[in-house]
Amino acid sequence: RPVVRKLVSEMRQNPIDVLYRPKDGASPDAADVLMGMYRTDMRHNTAKIAVNIAVREQIEAGVGAWRLVTDYEDQSPTSNNQVIRREPIHSACSHVIWDSNSKLMDKSDARHCKVNHSMSQNGWEDFAEKYDLDADDIPSFQNPNDWVFPWLTQDTIQIAEFYEVVEKKETAFIYQDPVTGEPVSYFKHDIKDVIDDLADSGFIKIAERQIKRRRVYKSIITCTAV
């Protein structure tokens, strides 16, 4: 596939970069710091592999994807610093299934998404132990048909992660900080037990409004259990 190799080579030589620019009086130094953090993350081996796989699959099949995860910066028990990592998703065209009602190219309007995973018997046993599942209850269909997704074949077992976006209107309270005088906002549900404490600390409620709040819920699907 000379054309694919040519395009992949060009993408590697001239990768798409991100440029941070200060806005609304923000410090240029802050933009430089963010740029440095982004480039540091992209130099990580996993990030390079994830991007290269996604680019190649996008050229070959029209769809590429990677996963953003958080990981501890080091294994020190006293450190809570976390960094964002990119992990590859192989065969995204058949393993990442988006909401069919999503119309935007970046899928930001999707209400749900499913990510399928193929694993060996040993991989399934490790996965079952991690998520406290019964390893002997292997995902399968009693009467498989040609049109049914093959959750179980002779060599592989399929499980899926299902992500669902739930959007609800919530009340946000806006307070004036007694120290800085700047407005700060809190959701009513989050501070319902400490509202009196805020008032005692000198916070003055100056407004409230209804805001759409999005939450993402994750489920593990094995076709025999959720």
What stretch of H or E contains 94?
helix 92-95
- 177: closest CA among 142, 206, 135, 151? 206
* pLDDT, one tens digit for every residue, the chain (226 residues): 788 888 888 887 887 778 888 888 888 888 899 888 888 888 887 888 898 899 888 888 888 999 998 888 888 888 888 888 899 999 888 889 999 999 998 889 999 999 988 888 888 888 888 888 888 777 664 444 445 555 556 677 888 899 999 999 989 999 998 888 888 888 888 888 888 888 888 888 898 899 888 899 999 887 667 7
Q: What is the DSSP string of 106-144?
A: T-TT-SEEEEEEEE-HHHHHHHHHHTT--TTS----SS-
CA distance 180 to 183: 9
Measured in whole angstroms, the distance separating CA 36 from the mean position of its chain's CA atoms is 22
CA distance 34 to 40: 10
- pTM to 2 decimals? 0.74
